[in-house]
Amino acid sequence: MALPELTDEQRRQALAKAAEARQVRAEVKNRLRHSGATVAQVLAEAKRNEAIAKIKVLDLLQSIPGIGKLTAQQIMDDLKIAQSRRLRGLGANQAKVLIAEIARRG
């Protein structure tokens, strides 16, 4: 499938929208890292905000203080969550056990 041809204006709008989405995702990760936002709060926001819903669970976990790449991968393996899963793709049970696991480590 070929990409559609975009006018210069459409391309600028798409680039601006992508930059805004990256900014939102970076702010969410920063809140987790520094100001004590919880995974439950982020998951609730993901239901309302498409940009947040596209964050990979692995990236979200790595944003939590004390959880690095290997620990995040181990958590996801233990909870049987695919490494490529995004917040939008988490089932209700997966979200519950993820929140419980982070609280337990907390």
pLDDT tens digits, one per residue of 3-49: 788 899 999 999 999 999 999 999 999 999 998 789 999 999 999 99
Write out pLDDT tens, residues 66-101: 999 999 999 999 999 999 999 999 999 999 999 999
Residue listed under structure tokens 């993901």: 46
Q: Which of 47, 1, 51, 46 is nearest to 22 (CA)?
A: 51
The domains of the chain, with CATH numbers, are 8-105 (1.10.8.50)
Torsion of CA 95, 98, 47, 63, to 10 degrees: -160
Q: What pTM was computed for the model?
A: 0.85
pLDDT(2) > 90: no
Dmax over CA atoms of the chain, in Å, equals 51
